[in-house]
């Protein structure tokens, strides 16, 4: 990648943890990247500061109520700005070489698809796009000539490991899980955990929703579904193992018995740098792996009794059709309820399971409209179940 031709970059979700990490890398190599547009959620101050620091052409904030504040903060800067869903789509559609899709949850689906286009690279850090609308999402990327690169650490490691041999030679793909803060906790201890307990991740610094998903291991189930679509692998060739050191992020086993693993420190800097510079490699300040200092790498099978959310996600992946979309919508409602103290940590999986049971099985959504409608139906059912599981709150 020539330093004379910087890549133009749009960040969807720039004020989140992935977005902030990406902008740190951009700041380390300003000659390689030019920021076109930034999209934030509700934090107008942070978004305006990022826009000024990067010299972005356009800044959009999803929360329309923050539009006036963003405009005030950017007054005199020459940076275009807007607020609300249409402004977010405007940012996503602006010409750019790379679009980072890092808006959390189902909210990232429409803007990420809006960013698709011939010759466009989308670095995906939003797993819900593939969980809620995987078949449609992948087909639309192919139809529009969009290059998808996985930015999640696990999928990025697998993407790199898959280059070792043709896809037909792949026997098994393994995604690792840290085990979260409750890896050694009893089921009773998990049921009594507070949001403060669950947000104490041992290895990663992430947003609240993904941190709670990590605590329940739902995150690993979502990642299995993501890998199923991203790498066109059947469910029986995908598995998750618990690896508390979070040094091995993904493994690919080939039919000759060889296993290629992707290792790095638990630092999102690594997969972000890979996606932004691919196929080249750039010098970074990412933390370096010192195996002697790590000392040992351990692995164990996940306990599906203590972590039923993972069991539900695996079952949804195997069932296919509408199940993953329902699972995702119900989980977002349940996680939000847990963070608000309206249900317990075990209540999350219980709400998801009952929502799956109440909604009839249907085909996988084949459009954005179908995916959003199904997501909305799952949310309505999940919300209606909150009183039933309120007693389980800590």
Beta bridge partners, 300, equal: 242
Token readout for 298 is 């351990």
**Closest by alpha carbon to 273, among 5, 7, 47, 21?**
21
Prediction pTM value: 0.94
Give 391's pLDDT tier (boundaries 50, 70, 90). low
The alpha-helical segments, DSSP class H, found in 202-344 are: 208-216, 218-230, 269-277, 291-294, 308-319, 323-339
Q: For 320-394, CATH number? A: 1.10.1740.10
pLDDT value at 393 more than 50? no
The alpha-helical segments, DSSP class H, found in 122-164 are: 128-144, 153-161
| pLDDT digits 0-9 by tens, 346-372 | 999 999 999 999 999 999 999 999 999
pLDDT value at 381 more than 80? yes
State the Cα–Cα distance between residues 282 and 31, nearest whole angstrom: 12
- Nearest-5° Cα angle at 364, 362 to 365: 110
DSSP string, 47-71: HHHHHHHHT-SEEEES-GGGHHHHH
- Phi-psi label, residue 257: left if phi above 0, alpha if psi -120 to 50, beta otherwise: left
State the CATH architecture for 7-151. 3-Layer(aba) Sandwich (3.40)
Which segments of the chain belong to CATH 3.40.50.720? 7-151
| pLDDT digits 0-9 by tens, 248-291 | 999 999 999 999 999 999 999 999 999 999 999 999 999 999 99
78 within 8 A of 56, measured Cβ to Cβ = no
pLDDT value at 139 more than 90? yes
Which segments of the chain belong to CATH 1.10.1740.10? 320-394
Q: Is 208 exposed, middle or buried (0-12, 13-18, 19+ CB in 10 A)?
A: middle
Mean pLDDT over 20-25 rounds to: 96
Mean pLDDT over 320-340 rounds to: 97
| Among 9-13, 344-348, 387-391, the least confident range | 387-391
Mean pLDDT over 364-383 rounds to: 98
């Amino acid at each position: 990648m020539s330093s004379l031709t910087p890549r133009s970059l749009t960040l969807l979700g720039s004020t989140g943890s992935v977005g902030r990490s990406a902008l740190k890398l951009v700041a380390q190599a300003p000659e390689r990247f030019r920021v076109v547009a930034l999209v934030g959620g509700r934090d107008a101050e942070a978004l305006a500061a990022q826009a000024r620091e990067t010299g972005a052409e356009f800044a959009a904030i999803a929360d329309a109520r923050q539009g006036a504040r963003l405009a005030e903060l950017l007054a005199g800067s020459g940076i275009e700005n807007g607020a609300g869903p249409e402004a977010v789509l405007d940012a996503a559609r602006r010409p750019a070489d790379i679009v980072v899709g890092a808006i959390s949850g189902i909210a990232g689906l429409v803007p990420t698809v809006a960013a698709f286009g011939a010759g466009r690279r989308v670095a995906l850090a939003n797993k819900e796009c593939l969980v809620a609308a995987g078949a449609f999402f992948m087909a639309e990327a192919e139809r529009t000539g969009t290059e998808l690169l996985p930015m999640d650490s696990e999928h990025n490691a697998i993407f790199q490991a898959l280059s070792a041999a043709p896809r037909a030679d792949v026997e098994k793909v393994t995604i690792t899980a840290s085990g979260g803060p409750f890896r050694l906790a009893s089921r009773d201890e998990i049921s009594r955990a507070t949001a403060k307990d669950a947000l104490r991740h041992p290895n990663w610094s992430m947003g609240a929703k993904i941190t709670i998903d990590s605590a329940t291991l739902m995150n690993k189930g979502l990642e299995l579904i993501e890998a199923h679509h991203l790498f066109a692998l059947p469910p029986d060739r995908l598995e998750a193992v618990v690896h508390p050191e979070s040094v091995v992020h993904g493994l690919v086993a080939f039919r000759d018995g060889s296993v290629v693993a992707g290792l790095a420190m638990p630092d999102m800097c690594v997969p972000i740098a890979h996606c932004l510079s691919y196929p080249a490699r750039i010098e970074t300040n990412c933390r370096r792996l010192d195996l002697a200092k790590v000392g040992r790498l351990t692995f164990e099978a996940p306990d599906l009794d203590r972590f039923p959310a993972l069991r539900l996600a695996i079952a949804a992946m195997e069932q296919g059709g509408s199940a993953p979309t329902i699972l995702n919508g119900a989980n977002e409602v349940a996680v939000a309820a847990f963070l608000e103290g309206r249900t317990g940590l075990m209540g999350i999986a219980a709400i998801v399971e009952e929502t799956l049971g109440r909604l009839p099985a249907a085909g996988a959504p084949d459009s954005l409209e179908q995916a959003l409608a199904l997501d909305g139906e799952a949310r309505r059912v999940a919300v209606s179940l909150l009183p039933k599981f309120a007693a389980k709150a800590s």
